[in-house]
Structure 1
Amino acid sequence: MGQAEAERDESLKLRQIADKITEAPSEAGRDEAAKLRQIADEIADGPTQYEIIKTCYGFLSTKIVLSAVELDLFTELASEPMTKEQLEEQLGLHPRCSADYLDSLVALGYLRREDGVYRNDPVVDKVLDASKTEHYIGGALEWANEHQYQTFGELTETLKTGEPQSGYMDEDEMFDELYEDEDQADAFTSGMAGLTSRVANYIAESFEWEEYESVCDVGSAKGMVPVTVAEKNEHLKATAFDLPELKPISEEFISKRGMDDRVSFHPGDAFEDDLPRHDVFVLGRILHDFGLEKKKELIRSTYEAMPDDGALLIYGSLIDNDRRENVVGLMTSLYVMVDSEKGYDYTPKECQKWLQEIGFSEIEVRDIPGPETMVVAQK
């Protein structure tokens, strides 16, 4: 019996006991029954009233944090702690709002306040200070604030029509806008690099790289995965494959990490250009952008570009096979549907089926710490 089923069973037993106690005529008996029902509600699988309210008003905390990123609040506080008055002057905050706004960030755990002086929480200081470029994830959050937050607000329309609400005709148009400005592209890819660093380390340390000599990450953005894998496996040659617009950004990142000798950038469009031959290919958080036929086309392209003993690593917030547990995967899939014409997320079981159809033989599903999953396929 799973944990959720056990909790529901325990809740049911408590309710049955409460029903029996209620039959007693005494006021004490009725009070005891009420307490048991309250406990049953708390351990039941469904949400409590408080959890329903917290979820439905979650957009408030989301926007509070995204506005802090937009204001460069965390970057400013990383340089030095400040009082409310100093932050008002530095960030242009209005006195009517500043106290409640800053203290909301304290209550959410993003800031700390001592004797009227605000400073970042240590984790926030690491990942939301723009000067700490290796770990900064704010670029992705800036894109979320400017584009994703408003787009997902149109979820109901997509649920009724099945049509995207982003205004883009296809995925190419979205990336054209995203990458047309180099500063915007740099900010976004820096954020994606920060979001990917944990997964990149897992892949670099857990996969059987000693059996291979080369790896190519398709849709690599700055190149966090190939750089990290090469850093931790000195015998490997690695390639970052992405659109030509990202060439200067990726090559600068590779150079700053001192990996020019073993990591290179290969410009191209995976649906129009042949992939360069490599032993291992990585498809990370990319398949969900496309419909089924393009998903299979991309997988097939990697299959044809690898040797007979090659391997493919697919990772992302895959939906669990029972479609009950990985809420991140399910919600990400809904966002992709609102944002793209045909994209959606998928389960490991669905992914395994596609891989088998294309010709991969040995397929293994591996859990990555957190909400993500990796599917490993051997040719």
Structure 2
Amino acid sequence: MTEPDPSQIMQLGMGFLASKTLLSAVELGLFTELARRPMTAPEIGQALGLSPRAVPDFPDALVALKVLERRGDGPEARYSNTAEGALFLDRNGPAYVGGLLEMANARLFRHWADLTEGLKTGLAQNEVKHTGTSIFETLYASPELLEQFLNAMAGASFGNVRALAAKFDFSRYKTLCDVGGATALLACTVAAAHPHLACSSFDLPPVAPIAQKRIDKAGLADRVAVASGDFFAGPLPKADVITMGMILHDWNLEKKKLLIRKAYEALPKGGAFVVIEALIDDARRENAFGLLMSLNMLMETGEGFDYSGADFAGWCREAGFRRFEVIPLAGPSSAAVAYK
């Protein structure tokens, strides 16, 4: 019989040390600097404005955490990005996902210090707790902050929408509307992969210029349109496929079901409703990221929560959908699909 070992408990309990080290590296632009050339520890310190005490511990810790590589030992050793760091953490790269990590560093890391209070009260522990103003009110009051936030979300969604475009059978459909489409990433990605589709990205009016910028840059203005509106205030645009990426988890059960009913009403017979989320496994034992994301929705909204494919199928069945499937996407995320 194996003796109990506290190492996993200690690793989890002290996991914030590794997390904050990575987040600070992203904040400081370390991976972007190393995308230009490998550097020694003193060069890293000078480029990032670090205290001499911070090197070589800081880059060496990142080597041990497998997010940097190092060639050689001692003061002349040179550090470089791993393949993943070069692809996903260089701010100048098209697949940059660090925007979400920047937001986690600036906001979520501090809010999560109040998780215990959130678990006891069921109340959000973000900006609204301290200022009375929600994060969304703050963002929508500033076009610059809004664009920064939406671009961060787009970076986090990049792998998922590419996987959806490759794995879902769009051949039977002619039109797609991405509800809560933000920067139009999903609409542009699917349209580029499937030239027969006409796509639209539906979101609140202040988001429209941000979405149009991406559409124009992609050269897809002839097949991707911007539609503006409030998905709670009126009907959704009609389309053969309606998608929602990381939308349903923002809301309580009543509002989740309302959006599902609206999607059902906007679809033709045979149409598909596709949601992209970090779906929790049906047994609620495996997808730790999905479960932690659900706790994050408690911290951010007090009411929103993540869910399983079985939960989604049950709610959609109530609305009238008849067939369901789950398509694994990137990492812990999946697409849950309901067919009318």
Instruction: Identify the match of residue 110 of structure 1 among 54, 57, 67.
Output: 67
SS at match of 2:255: helix
- Separation in 1, partners of 2:34, 2:140: 29
Q: CA deviation at 1:89?
A: 2.2
Contact 1:279–1:307 under 8 Å retained in 2: yes
- Separation in 2, partners of 1:180, 1:72: 27
- Separation in 2, partners of 1:205, 1:87: 39
Q: Which residue of 2 aligns with 1:246?
A: 207
Q: CA deviation at 1:374?
A: 2.1
Q: Which residue of 2 aligns with 1:6?
A: none
Q: CA deviation at 1:145?
A: 0.8
Contact 1:140–1:189 under 8 Å retained in 2: no
Q: Which residue of 2 aligns with 1:124?
A: 85
Q: CA deviation at 1:308?
A: 2.4
Higher mean displacement: 185-194 or 67-76 = 185-194
1:66 and 2:23 aligned: yes
Contact 1:137–1:190 under 8 Å retained in 2: no
Contact 1:290–1:342 under 8 Å retained in 2: yes
Q: CA deviation at 1:131?
A: 0.8
- Separation in 2, partners of 1:71, 1:367: 33
Q: In structure 2, what residue type is equivalent to 1:76? A: E
- CA radius of gyration, larger in: 1
- Separation in 2, partners of 1:96, 1:286: 44
- Separation in 2, partners of 1:244, 1:55: 42
Q: Which residue of 2 aligns with 1:88?
A: 45
Identify unmatched segments of 5+ residues in structure 1: 1-14, 16-36, 42-47
Q: In structure 2, what residue type is equivalent to 1:81? A: P
1:168 and 2:128 aligned: yes
Q: CA deviation at 1:296?
A: 0.8
Q: CA deviation at 1:366?
A: 3.0
Identify unmatched segments of 5+ residues in structure 2: none
Contact 1:168–1:340 under 8 Å retained in 2: no
Q: 1:268 to 1:159 in 2, by over 3 A?
A: same
Q: Which residue of 2 aligns with 1:137?
A: 97
Higher mean displacement: 185-194 or 314-323 = 185-194
- Separation in 1, partners of 2:262, 2:28: 43
Q: In structure 2, what residue type is equivalent to 1:211? A: R
Q: CA deviation at 1:85?
A: 2.2
Q: CA deviation at 1:369?
A: 4.8
Q: Which residue of 2 aligns with 1:157?
A: 117
Q: 1:127 to 1:143 in 2, by over 3 A?
A: same
Q: CA deviation at 1:84?
A: 2.2
- Provide the TM-score with structure 1 as the length reference: 0.83
Q: CA deviation at 1:147?
A: 0.9
Contact 2:45–2:54 under 8 Å retained in 1: no
Larger RCO, structure (CA 8 Å, separation 6 or more)? 2
Alignment of 1:269-288 (within 5 A): 269-288=230-249
Cα RMSD (Å) of the superposition?
1.9
Q: In structure 1, what residue type is equivalent to 2:47? A: Q
Q: In structure 1, what residue type is equivalent to 2:60? A: D
Q: CA deviation at 1:219?
A: 1.5
Q: In structure 1, what residue type is equivalent to 2:197? A: L
- Separation in 2, partners of 1:374, 1:240: 18
Contact 1:328–1:371 under 8 Å retained in 2: yes
Q: Which residue of 2 aligns with 1:310?
A: 271
Contact 2:327–2:336 under 8 Å retained in 1: yes
CA deviations 1:211-257 (Å, max 9, x no partner) are 11001111122122111111111100111112222222211111212
Q: CA deviation at 1:271?
A: 0.9
Contact 2:200–2:226 under 8 Å retained in 1: yes
- Separation in 1, partners of 2:59, 2:145: 27
Contact 1:321–1:349 under 8 Å retained in 2: yes
Q: CA deviation at 1:177?
A: 1.7
CA deviations 1:275-308 (Å, max 9, x no partner) are 2211110112111110011101111111112222
Q: CA deviation at 1:107?
A: 1.2
Q: Which residue of 1 aligns with 2:285?
A: 324
Instruction: Identify the match of residue 295 of structure 1 among 214, 237, 256.
Output: 256
Structure 1 runs of 4+ with >6 Å offset: none
* Identity %, equivalent residues: 41
Q: Which residue of 2 aligns with 1:221?
A: 182
